[in-house]
Structure 1
Amino acid sequence: MTTNHVWDAAGVQQAVSQIASIRPAYADILGFYGPVFAAQVNAAVDTCPEAIRMDDSLLEMKLNEGFSLIDPSAFTVDNPSAGKLLEALCRIAAAAGEKLAGVGEALNRSIIGGALVDHLFADVLDDKGRIRDFAESTDVAPDLLSLLLYLAVKPSIEAGARQLATHLSGIQEKRDSCPICGSAPILGELDPEGKLWLHCRLCWHRWLVDRIACPFCKNRDAASLEYFYSDDEPEYRVNLCGKCKRYLKVVDTRRIDRSFYPPLEQVVSIHLDMMAVEKGYVHAMGPGSPAK
């Protein structure tokens, strides 16, 4: 079983400050995400979604066969907590720029209007088109709308992942997708022992994979496995698979002397995603990714 570190606001703020001092080019994005991350960890303290219930025989089968435990739609959301967090995120968005401000205003109106926002939270997980319809009716960008809604429900999703992680065993490791919810990884991590871990793009659960193989197609041919990095940022590398043409962005924690907060590292290394795409590779989440 693997468990994720639980962060507090002080730790996140320290991580953001450390990155800001060495990555001044990311001042604007940190001006948005810094307060967002702090708001999320503060909200997580009081977030208590309904426990995810699984039939014992189904759970045993999934554990034995190495299947992911649930579909993303099975996550539960603490709607009151997510709603309060969304209000805070809307205020942050209002100060972040015209596009996000418009999305925040539209969501604020829906919060005042009542239960609609709960249906939008549900759509983050079951993808039934509510977010798209709301975006069209309010003339806001659906990707930005999805982003703010996901950021609001993320503490609930992470709480559910921590609950389910207590059931996991070694057979769930070395998968190409999250053993909790089956979602694609968004980031890799090399730990102090040189082991490679993947972080889920949805619930941020981390799991162990083989370092010497492509985690997506299991390719072990060294001639078609390579990576690139920058001398200016030796802690980052991008693993490339010539067989499936997918890439994985990895943070080598042995090369950093700062706090390692995975969601932060994801957003301040977007330039590496762009470089990988320019080389003809695709993120595991699909074209146009990553996000969140």
Structure 2
Amino acid sequence: MAELAGKIFRGQAGDLAKARAVEKYLRLTYTYSLFSKGQGLEDFLFVTRQGNCEYFASAAAVLLRHAGVPTRLVSGFLAGEFNEYGNFYDVRQNQAHAWVEAHIGGLGWVRLDPTPAGEAGPAWGRRLAGRAARWLEAGNVRWYRHVIGYDTYAQRNTFHRLGVAVSRWNIARALAWLAAAAAIVFLVRSAVLAWPRRRTRRAAQDIFSMAQETLERAGLRREPSWTPREYAAKVAAKRPDLSGLTRLAEEHYLELYAGLPRSKEEIAEARNILEDIRKRAGKRFWRR
């Protein structure tokens, strides 16, 4: 680690120059991936050379600290997608991100993002898909705001803005118009939700959760700081006969982060592993 830090910072004068150097080095030298075959930061830096944003941020923090630059790891959401149709920022779970902040004399905490871009496909295709997704999301927000949440206060506010006198006749006409508009929105929304690509399955995640519950009842407790892979590795080290949990953890990752629904055969195999774990889990082996 010290040798790599020396290579990156050679000839760099000042903390800001060092911070930009490590940011550029990680972006250009390593590859972004949701999955890494390595087991830690050293594997990421020297073996697999690919990983998610947490690996890039952790590597930048450790390397800068080797150079004596105060650095902290930050995690949150990268909310840079503005919806021009609904006039709001759209923050989604898949926009979770990790980066670092380095303390530079005279500047304070400076944000650094060493993670390279991971988008694929032609730019025009991404723009077209993005515009379509934002248009649908704006319609979804309007559905909840003006239909699901259309209470008496919202009705009076709408009539006031339209300059319509609140009378029985006008309310009846407005409600008829609203019902027609709601029906159209409902049909469009139903068609969008029925589209196969929007269906999600979480069978693999549920199976891993059931396996974890079984093992925790048997005394194989998962600490809050352990990822599913780490938990599976510790279980396998303590109880080799329960190593099937490692396969369930991988299925869990593929479904949750790669967005790959598991096939019927894969789910059937996972259920068999779950049943085997339930049979083998018995006597408590570790406790805190």
TM above 0.5 = no
Tell me which of the two structures has the higher relative contact order, counting C-alpha pairs closer than 8 angstroms and 6 or more residues apart: 1
TM-score by length of 2: 0.24
TM-score by length of 1: 0.23
- For the pair shown, the structure with the greater C-alpha radius of gyration is 2
